[in-house]
Amino acid sequence: MGRWIDLVSANAAELLWIGSGVLAIYLIARLLKAHPLLALTIALLPLAVAYFFYHPASPSHFIAMMG
């Protein structure tokens, strides 16, 4: 638990920046009358793409974990 809190506190500014970006995209999608689940998916999609771009082995590990 302590390690998680240390990680969050060390990256608080970056997490706040990412959270505000996700919230902005979500609110824009909601203003365009998107369903809440679709708006959340649209908001989280750039984070998923960035994660898979920086960790290229992740999709195969994710598929292996599910199968």
pTM of the predicted model as reported, rounded to 2 decimal places: 0.69
Give yes or no for residue 58 having a pLDDT over 90: no
DSSP secondary structure, 28-62, as one string = HHHHTT--HHHHHHHHHHHHHHHHHHH-TTHHHHH
Record the tokens describing residue 10, joined without a space.
């060390």
pLDDT in tens, 18-53: 899 999 999 999 999 999 999 999 999 988 888 888
Give yes or no for residue 1 having a pLDDT over 70: no
